[in-house]
Amino acid sequence: MDELNDNFKSENAPPTSEARHRLETEHAAQALALVYTLLDWEEAKPSKSQSHLPQDEQESMGKPLINANIELRWVLEGLHPADVAYVLEALPLEERLHVWGLVNPEYDGEILLEVSDSVRETLIADMSRQELVAATESLDTDEIAELADDLPREVVEEVAENLPLEERAQLRAVMSYPDDSVGSAMDFEMLTVRADMTLELVLQQLRAMDELPKQIDQIFVVDEAGVLQGSLSLERILINQPNVLVADVMRDDVLQLNPLDDMDDAAQAFERYDLMSAPVVDTQNRLMGRLTIDEVVDAIREQGESEVLAQVGLKEEQDIFSSVPNAVRNRAPWLLVNLFTAGTASYVASRFDGTVQQIVVLAFLMSIVAGIGGNSGNQTMTLIIRALALGQITGANLSDLVRKELAVTSLIGIGGGLIAAIFAYTISGSLSLGLVMMASMFINMLVGAGMGMLVPMVREKMGKDPAVGSSVLLTFATDTMGFLIFLGLATVFLL
């Protein structure tokens, strides 16, 4: 423990302001290990009945002589808010709240922004109204809006009342947009200039500021009415002469976003055009705000996590240390559906008990047919869900996509079926069984590919998330049809 503590201190000391704000991701796991150790020390501190004993006797009993809470505060003080969030998410509820109480209140708001939604709920529930107001007031308008849904209504109202009129209007505007829209994530901190200004005046304007907005890569050019005319990159300011007019070096072909645009579409645009920021304009082309790359990265990460969870039937991101009832409510529904589908597949197999009794080796081979069909379907389904998310599937290319997927699956099915046939022949000595195995695998892989395309597309057409429960429905189809096809062909051709 001493070595771990010394190493951590040597890499993070002294806990200056610069150190606190330095990205410390590479130390997060080490910090978590240290926090766990210090929590164990806190639990092992001498009881009141032992506190009168000499220090050497307390040491012999394995009781630590340091103040674990002071050490914990020191460790937390040296971490970036994102790494404190990482530590909190990895702690059970009781320990999490204990550590949360040791965090410098100055960084409460930043940490609440970094933790997952489920963990944020546990932290907010442990805070008083005054603590929540103090933590929220330190944030920018767009950040307050991000937390607003999780905060008590009275806290949001009090914070809004304390904001300047312009920022209060901005907060209400952001909160009025849907959660998955550009408007809900736009930033109001931006720089604007006029087209008739010289670059020297622009530089003077920049030098007069205490600090530049975060993620700044371009300045927006607007007219008297605030209508967007173009953008001026920082590069253009630096490489051109001071007496050059903004109008002569600005770009007028700027990607513009509407506050009601979907964040997924905006993320695709950022990826396609390698953007760092983009202006957000209203229907009259007036500049409202901007969308920055950090918000886009967050949206992409959240979408990816949501799709991974949805494929196995989980409704939402969940705290790994959430209560048992909450975990059951999140996991049980699709597992119950899966139980029903597995039962259906087993029922189908039981209808061929006579066939299996006469040809025992079928019991070992039929799981291969079902499993390969499921894996093939999962590959197709993953590609389809990704293509739907990127907007790459349209009515014009749907038939070409279906033909291509069936062709690929057919070729793989023939090759895989041939290998399976050789395997079945090797263990049974029956050529007929090998041919049945090959045919069954080929047909079930086509079934898997068909369901892998059909399930997400139908759910998308119905306005549902194409990923939710898709793997459960696919497994149902490939297991049931796999058993039916294999045992049915075996009954027809082998008995």
Spell out the SS3 assignment of the chain.
CHHHHHHHHHHHCCCCHHHHHCCCHHHHHHHHHHHHHHHHHHHCCCCCCCCCCCHHHHHHCCCCCCCHHHHHHHHHHCCCHHHHHHHHHCCCHHHHHHHHCCCCHHHHHHHHHHCCHHHHHHHHHCCCHHHHHHHHHCCCHHHHHHHHCCCCHHHHHHHHHCCCHHHHHHHHHHHCCCCCEHHHCCECCCCEECCCCEHHHHHHHHHCCCCCCCCCCEEEEECCCCEEEEEEEHHHHHHCCCCCEHHHHCECCCCCECCCCEHHHHHHHHHHHCCCEEEEECCCCEEEEEEEHHHHHHHHHHHHHHHHHHHCCCCCCCCCCCCHHHHHHHHHHHHHHHHHHHHHHHHHHHCCHHHHHHCCCHHHHHHHHHHHHHHHHHHHHHHHHHHHHCCCCCCCCHHHHHHHHHHHHHHHHHHHHHHHHHHHHHHHCCHHHHHHHHHHHHHHHHHHHHHHHHHHHHHHHCCCCCCCCHHHHHHHHHHHHHHHHHHHHHHHHHC
Q: Averaged over 427-440, what is the pLDDT?
A: 90
Confidence of residue 317 (pLDDT cuts 50, 70, 90): low
User: How many separate domains does the chain show?
Assistant: 3
What is the predicted pLDDT for the residue at 312? 59
CA distance 3 to 371: 49
Q: Alpha carbon 409 to chain centroid distance?
A: 31
What is the predicted pLDDT for the residue at 46? 46
Q: Give the predicted TM-score (pTM) of the model.
A: 0.66
- 233/372 same-domain check: no
Instruction: Give whole-number Cα distances, 80 to 20, 38, 85, 211, in Å.
Output: 6, 19, 9, 20
What is the predicted pLDDT for the residue at 304? 73
Does a structural domain hold residue 179? Answer: no
What is the predicted pLDDT for the residue at 183? 93
Cβ-count burial 365-388 (b if 16+ within 10 Å, e if not): bbebbbebbbebbbbbbbbbbebb
Does a structural domain hold residue 39? Answer: yes
- Here the CATH number for the domain that contains residue 231 is 3.10.580.10
Which two structure tokens, joined as six digits, stand for 168? Answer: 């209060």
CA distance 287 to 131: 35
Q: How far apart are the first and last CA of the chain?
A: 70
What is the predicted pLDDT for the residue at 340? 77
Confidence of residue 245 (pLDDT cuts 50, 70, 90): very high
Cα dihedral across residues 189, 195, 197, 198: positive or negative: positive
- 295/369 same-domain check: no
CA distance 312 to 335: 9
Q: Averaged over 5-23, what is the pLDDT?
A: 45
What is the predicted pLDDT for the residue at 116? 86
Choice between 359 and 403, residue whose per-residue pLDDT is larger:
403
Look at residues 311, 341, 375 and tell me which one is the last residue of a structural domain. 311
- 478/455 same-domain check: yes
- 442/382 same-domain check: yes
What is the predicted pLDDT for the residue at 58? 45
Which residues on adjacent β-strands are paired with residue 277?
Answer: 292
- 346/488 same-domain check: yes
- 462/328 same-domain check: yes
CA distance 465 to 467: 5
Closest CA to 441 of 374, 377, 372, 375: 372
Q: Lowest-confidence range among 60-74, 386-400, 454-468?
A: 60-74
Residues 6+ apart with CB under 8 A from 483: 345, 348, 349, 352, 366, 369, 370
Closest CA to 77 of 95, 102, 41, 109: 102
- 287/357 same-domain check: no
- pLDDT digit string, tens, across residues 249-308: 999 999 999 999 999 889 989 988 999 999 999 999 999 999 999 999 988 887 777 766
- Residue 332 pLDDT greater than 70, yes or no: no
What is the predicted pLDDT for the residue at 192? 94
Share of the chain above pLDDT 90, in %: 34
What is the predicted pLDDT for the residue at 230? 95
- 279/248 same-domain check: yes
- Here the CATH number for the domain that contains residue 473 is 1.10.357.20
Look at residues 91, 126, 161 and tell me which one is the last residue of a structural domain. 126
Backbone φ, ψ for residue 136 (5° rounding) = -80, -35
Rg (CA), the chain: 30
Does a structural domain hold residue 144? Answer: no
Look at residues 311, 339, 359 and tell me which one is the last residue of a structural domain. 311
Choice between 308 and 64, residue whose per-residue pLDDT is larger:
308
Q: Lowest-confidence range among 233-237, 286-290, 414-418, 470-474?
A: 470-474
What does the mean pLDDT of the chain come to? 82
- 340/387 same-domain check: yes
Does a structural domain hold residue 246? Answer: yes
| Structural domain boundaries, residue 265 | 192-311
Does a structural domain hold residue 184? Answer: no
- Residue 32 pLDDT greater than 70, yes or no: yes
Does a structural domain hold residue 407? Answer: yes
Does a structural domain hold residue 338? Answer: yes
Does a structural domain hold residue 131? Answer: no
- 75/112 same-domain check: yes
- 26/76 same-domain check: yes
- 337/454 same-domain check: yes
What is the predicted pLDDT for the residue at 455? 86
- pLDDT digit string, tens, across residues 120-137: 999 999 999 999 999 999
- pLDDT digit string, tens, across residues 371-416: 888 888 888 888 888 788 767 788 888 888 888 988 999 999 899 8
Q: Averaged over 438-453, what is the pLDDT?
A: 91
